[in-house]
Structure 1
Amino acid sequence: MSSFMITTDKTELDVPAIHHFLGTQSTWATGIALATVQRAIDHSLCFGGFADGRQVAFARVVSDYATFAYLVDVYVLEQYRGRGYSKQLMDAVMAHPDLQGLRRFMLATSTAHGLYARHGFTAPLRPESLMEKYVPDLYTR
C-alpha cells in the first residue's frame, strides 16, 4: 500500500486533475469550467490527498472560520478507493485548527452518509428551517 499525504498548500494541488474529476466524473459538477474550479479553490480551504506521486483525493471547505463551514467537492479517485483515504481526508478536515468551534458545519451527500456520520454529521434537526437555491444543470447549459 502506498503512503498517503494530505496538504492544504494550494500550490501543491493539481488543479487540472481536480477539474477533470469534477467536470467529467462527479455527479455534482459535470461540465464545470476550469476557471470556475480555480476561483472556487482560490476562495476555499482545500485539502489535497496524494499517493503514488499524484493527487488522488480532494476536499474543499467554504467557511468564515468563525461560525459556519460547508464541505464540498470531496472525492477519492475510483482506483484508490477502499484504502481508507476518504477517512484520512475527513480526519484532516475535521482536525484543521481553522475549523474548530463552528456553530454549523454542513454538507450534501447522496452516497457517503456513513463516512460523514463518523464525524457527527446527521440529517438536519429542523429541515423545515433550511432553504436552498439549487441549479443542478448550471454547468451544462
Structure 2
Amino acid sequence: MDKDALDLEVIHNFLSNESYWSKGISKEDVIKSIRNSAFCFGMYFIDPIDKKRKQIGFARVISDLVTHAYLQDVFILAPYRNKGLGNWLLNTITNYEELKLRRFMLATDDGHSFYSKFGFQPLDNPNFFMQKKGKGAI
C-alpha cells in the first residue's frame, strides 16, 4: 500500500496500452490519479534468487473513507493470471477495515462474475444514479 513503492512504468504501460478503460492515458494522469486516491494496492513478485521485486498487479480506491468508495484500475499482468492472485487482491481490498463503508462501487465491462464473489452486485436501482461523461470516458 506504499504509493512510493509502486512501479509507475508498469502501471502506466498496462493502463495505457492493455486496459480497455484507460487506453492512451498519459503518465502524468496516472501519477495524479495515484496521488489523489485514498489507497493503492500493489502486488509484487519477489525473485527467490536475486530478491528483486517486480510489480505484477495493482488496484486503487477512491474514497472519502466515511461513506463511499470506488474501486478502479484493477489488474494482474497476463503472465501471473489464473493463479488466484486476483482473488487474493480483492479479498485484501474488500476486507480492509477502512473500506467497510456504506457503499463500495466499481464499473466493469467483463468482470461481473469475478467481482460478485466479493459481494459486488448490479445496482438495485440504476436509474437512481447519474453520470456526466468527460474526456476519455467510455
Q: TM-score, normalised by structure 2?
A: 0.89
> Match for 2:73: what amino acid?
D
| 1:45-73 CA distance string (max 9 Å, x none) | 10001114311100000000000000000
- What RMSD over aligned residues (CA atoms) do the two structures have, in Å? 1.2
> Match for 1:81: what amino acid?
R
- Structure 2 Cα separation of the partners of residues 25 and 80 of structure 1: 15
> 5+ residue gaps in structure 1?
1-7
Q: How does 1:74-89 map to 2 (within 5 A)?
A: 74-89=74-89
Q: Which residue of 2 aligns with 1:73?
A: 73
> Match for 1:106: what amino acid?
M
Q: Which residue of 2 aligns with 1:41?
A: 34
> Match for 1:115: what amino acid?
F
Q: How does 1:9-24 map to 2 (within 5 A)?
A: 9-24=2-17
Change over 3 Å in CA distance of 1:136–1:84 after alignment to 2: farther
Q: Which residue of 2 aligns with 1:4?
A: none
Q: Percent identity?
A: 40
> 5+ residue gaps in structure 2?
47-52
- Structure 1 Cα separation of the partners of residues 84 and 134 of structure 2: 32
> Match for 2:64: what amino acid?
D
Across the two proteins, how many residue pairs are aligned to each other?
Answer: 130
- Structure 2 Cα separation of the partners of residues 129 and 95 of structure 1: 27
Q: TM-score, normalised by structure 1?
A: 0.88
Q: Which residue of 2 aligns with 1:95?
A: 95
- Higher relative CO (Cα under 8 Å, sequence separation at least 6) belongs to 1
- Structure 2 Cα separation of the partners of residues 41 and 137 of structure 1: 18
